[in-house]
Amino acid sequence: MKVKVAINGYGTIGKRVADAVSKQDDMEVIGVTKTKPDFEAKMAIKRGYKLYCAIPENLELFESAGIKVEGTVEELIEKADIVVDCSPGKVGAQNKPMYEKAGVKAIFQGGEKKDVAELSFNALANYEKAVGKNYVRVVSCNTTGLVRVLYLLDTNFGVEKVRAVMIRRVVDPKEDKKGLVNGIMPDPVKLPSHHGPDVQTVLPHIDITTVAFKVPTTLMHVHSLNVQLKEKVSEDDVIDVFEKEPRILLVSKDDGFTSTAKIIEWARELRLRYDIFENVVWRDSIAVVGNELYFTQAIHQEAIVVPENVDAIRAMLEMAEKEESIRKTNESLEIGRFQI
Ligand code: NAD
């Protein structure tokens, strides 16, 4: 028997989570929602998903556009074992009373405040804490990228403190209404950026301060990390730890990975929508000075949280232990198959 998953909000994250869930042998997508009958709604039907209307008052819009919907979001979630809420930031919190009323478990995304859920989640760092929970928030793309590497460094060498700079893609490729055409925007100007405190929602004991800048690109974020470790390590010790983790991908300038543009070009040949579910760490950037570790990583914001959503489903519905869930998710999404 497969568990029944509803996706509320078939946008950038929702469509990717739907496709990832469809690839699992222990879960199925019973429906996805859209607010309006645009090309994404048509694509959802084309890909075989049952389409529901996220805003009941908009049913007529779908009818007049000639797009068949199965019903409203309330009707969808009644049939679901779990909802993955992929609506825009802050809308998930507005949807929560509907999930509570229906008595259905729900996963929220990083655009929500941490108190929307019982737990802020990352599969590597705290899978076990999500077991059986009703409401879980998968932390944002930047936080997922930070938590994965910091969890590994902390469990292997102990982390004393972290100072990190986030260089953020300004918007996703499809977002033509927003943008920063010519400039570098400190965002926020005042320290810290929200990423450090967000890391602490998963790893509360980590001393971390982050600053963030937005730059005019849509492809990926880049993080420059400075991590003070408790143990003395060599660069090879760090590479060993990262190499063993399928959700970290090590690349090198010598292989032609000179920028995020080249990483995306490589992924275009491999994956649907050039999705990169892994942290992409430049092997050549890993440097140890005294007890301080430096490295640079790139994060594909549209994809990195997708495996975490799949693992959160298994944890909350008590379907598998941590290692088993991560292994299944990794295999189905070909994570870790392309170490370079
Ligand atoms: P998006 O705008 O691409 O998609 C959101 C979808 O939800 C759209 O299809 C929209 O029509 C729909 N929607 C609007 N109102 C709704 C409602 N009331 N109920 C249900 N659906 C509704 O947004 P996104 O980028 O996929 O972001 C979704 C969530 O994921 C946000 O919390 C965001 O912060 C988080 N997130 C986004 C990224 C990213 O880079 N895109 C990365 C990690 C996490």
The confidence band for 320, taking pLDDT boundaries of 50, 70 and 90, is very high
Ligand 1 pocket mutation pick from 32, 67, 73, 86 by most atoms within 8 angstroms of CB: 86
Tell me the per-residue pLDDT of 262-309, one tens digit each, with 9 for 90 and over.
999 999 999 999 999 999 999 999 999 999 999 999 999 999 999 999
d(C-alpha 251, C-alpha 263), whole Å: 9
Ligand 1 pocket mutation pick from 13, 15, 214 by most atoms within 8 angstroms of CB: 13
Q: What pLDDT sits at residue 43?
A: 96
d(C-alpha 244, C-alpha 151), whole Å: 14
Is the pLDDT reported for residue 340 higher than 90?
A: no
Residue 141 CA: nearest ligand 1 atom is 43
What is the pLDDT averaged over residues 137-155?
98
Alpha carbon of 87 to ligand 1 centroid (Å)? 4
Residue 145: closest CA among 250, 259, 247, 262: 247
Residue 17: closest CA among 34, 5, 35: 5
Is the pLDDT reported for residue 37 higher than 70?
A: yes
Percent of the chain residues topping a pLDDT of 90: 98
Is the pLDDT reported for residue 40 higher than 80?
A: yes
Is the pLDDT reported for residue 339 higher than 80?
A: no
146: region left, alpha or beta (phi > 0 left; psi from -120 to 50 alpha):
alpha
Is the pLDDT reported for residue 338 higher than 90?
A: no
Tell me the per-residue pLDDT of 59-108, one tens digit each, with 9 for 90 and over.
999 999 999 999 999 999 999 999 999 999 999 999 999 999 999 999 99
What is the pLDDT averaged over residues 233-251?
97
Inter-residue contact 330 to 246 (CB < 8 Å): yes
**Which active-site residues does the annotation give?**
141
Q: Is the CB of 109 under 6 A from ligand 1?
A: yes
d(C-alpha 163, C-alpha 227), whole Å: 6
Tell me the per-residue pLDDT of 24-36, one tens digit each, with 9 for 90 and over.
999 999 999 999 9
Residue nearest to atom 14 of ligand 1 (CA): 87
What is the pLDDT averaged over residues 20-45?
97
Q: Measured in whole angstroms, how far is the alpha carbon of residue 330 from the centre of its chain?
A: 14
Q: Is the CB of 33 under 6 A from ligand 1?
A: yes
Record the tokens describing residue 144, joined without a space.
């997922």
d(C-alpha 250, C-alpha 243), whole Å: 7
Inter-residue contact 229 to 157 (CB < 8 Å): yes
What is the pLDDT averaged over residues 225-243?
97
Query: What is the pTM for the complete model shown?
Result: 0.98
**297-to-78, 125, 130 alpha-carbon distances in Å:** 41, 19, 27
